[in-house]
């Protein structure tokens, strides 16, 4: 009935608002908000955020759009496991190029860790999706949880308020993917686990 339609619309809205590619940008916003990096000049922070947007959202979206047009795939076909290989590769390459630029520009290593974590997540999900289907939405949300824990260790701040929000967000994203019948419970839990582990290791590895 009307109640179910409302739930489905809410689930679609959540899935659209919290796409996996947005989380690197969210990570930098958190970094510039809860750590000492909030004192950096706004022009520097704006440059980082704009660069992050271009390489982690703009270019991957453009590349995947061109791939879809050239391959003749529909949006629904692109969501199938076998058709997701090249979109993963396109996104992975964009992130890798951005990480290289960050190293060349000598950005702080813990900032590079956000992109390293995203690359870890994409790499693991790419490998898993060769045989199984894993939720990238859940992996992205889980990555925020892992990154928050790692940054709380690096910068010695209390992550509990932020973690509560991140866990709630992850639960909402997982629920929305199951309501839309895009993933099973196993697939969203596996995505979250991959995200948490890779998000944490990405920060700590650098």
Other CB atoms within 10 A of residue 29 CB:
13
Q: What's the predicted TM-score (pTM) here?
A: 0.87
Q: Which of 19-23, 32-36, 198-202 has the lowest mean pLDDT?
A: 32-36
C-alpha to C-alpha distance for 80 and 169, rounded to whole angstroms: 25
pLDDT digits (tens, 9 = 90+) for 49-80: 999 999 999 999 999 889 888 888 776 666 66
Collapsing DSSP states into helix, strand and coil, what is residue 8?
helix
Average per-residue pLDDT in the chain? Answer: 89
Contact present, 147 and 29 (Cβ < 8 Å)? no
Q: What is the mean pLDDT of residues 186-201?
A: 95
C-alpha to C-alpha distance for 50 and 125, rounded to whole angstroms: 26
Backbone phi, then psi, for 184, in 5-degree steps? -90, 175
Q: Quickly state the pLDDT bin for 110 (edges 50, 70, 90).
A: confident
pLDDT digits (tens, 9 = 90+) for 32-53: 887 788 898 999 999 999 999 9
């Amino acid at each position: 009935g009307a109640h179910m339609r409302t739930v489905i619309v809410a689930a679609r809205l959540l899935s659209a608002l919290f796409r996996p590619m947005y989380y690197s940008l969210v990570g930098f916003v958190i970094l510039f908000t809860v750590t000492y990096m909030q004192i950096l000049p706004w022009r520097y922070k704006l440059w980082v955020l704009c660069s992050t947007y271009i390489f982690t959202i703009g270019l991957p979206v453009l590349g995947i759009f061109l791939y879809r047009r050239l391959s003749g795939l529909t949006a629904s076909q692109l969501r199938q496991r076998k058709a997701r290989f090249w979109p993963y590769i396109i996104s992975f390459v964009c992130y890798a190029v951005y990480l290289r630029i960050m190293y060349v520009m000598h950005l702080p290593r813990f900032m590079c860790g956000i992109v390293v974590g995203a690359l870890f997540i994409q790499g693991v999900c790419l490998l898993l999706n060769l045989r199984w289907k894993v939720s990238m939405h859940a992996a992205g949300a889980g990555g925020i949880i892992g990154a928050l824990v790692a940054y709380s260790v690096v910068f010695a701040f209390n992550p509990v308020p932020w973690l509560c929000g991140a866990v709630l967000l992850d639960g909402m994203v997982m629920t929305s993917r199951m309501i839309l019948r895009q993933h099973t419970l196993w697939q969203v839990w596996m995505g979250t686990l991959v995200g948490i582990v890779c998000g944490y290791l990405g920060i700590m590895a650098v």
